[in-house]
Amino acid sequence: MDAFGHVNNVAYFRYFETARIALFEKADFADREAASGIGPILAATDCRFRIPLTYPDTVTVASWIEEVQEEQFTMGHAVFSHAHGRVAAEGFGRIVAYDYGRRCKSRLDTELRQRLLKLGRAD
């Protein structure tokens, strides 16, 4: 909570990060990074606040894959307020394949791109 009685904007980015990491686990990024040295790195993020969240409330956070390219992919995020029964915030993250050993961007292998596409939004 901030001085104005609602959840501070930084918390939404933490919600996004938690959901992003869960999606990375589904895509098996940790094992891939351990084997190749190539993993995800957040290049850009954005949030559109729809309604303020206040205490008490429970939220559900969802993340999905919007678009996959050779070196990067875009994720969508939504924070749903149970108290209000609607989306409180929406956002995106642009994730780049990064070679941590060489310190430069890299390509996503074909199998990983296919896995990511399967994690797209299920409307």
Write the DSSP assignment of 19-71 as a string of letters.
HHHHHHHHTTHHHHHHHHSEEEEEEEEEEEE-S---SS--EEEEEEEEEE-SS
Distances (CA, A) of 11 to 6, 85, 98, 106: 10, 19, 26, 30
Three-class secondary structure of residue 6 per DSSP? coil
- Asked if 81 contacts 62 with a C-beta cutoff of 8 angstroms, the reply is no
**Paired residues of 11 in beta bridges:** none
At residue 119, the pLDDT reads 86
Three-class secondary structure of residue 105 per DSSP? strand
How confident is residue 122, by pLDDT bands cut at 50, 70 and 90?
Answer: low
List pLDDT tens digits, range 52-84.
999 889 999 999 999 999 999 999 999 999 999
For 2, other C-beta atoms within 10 Å of its C-beta total 11
List pLDDT tens digits, range 17-55.
999 999 999 988 888 888 999 999 999 999 999 999 998
User: Domains in the chain, start-ordered, CATH in brackets?
Assistant: 9-118 (3.10.129.10)
Closest CA to 106 of 75, 71, 80: 71
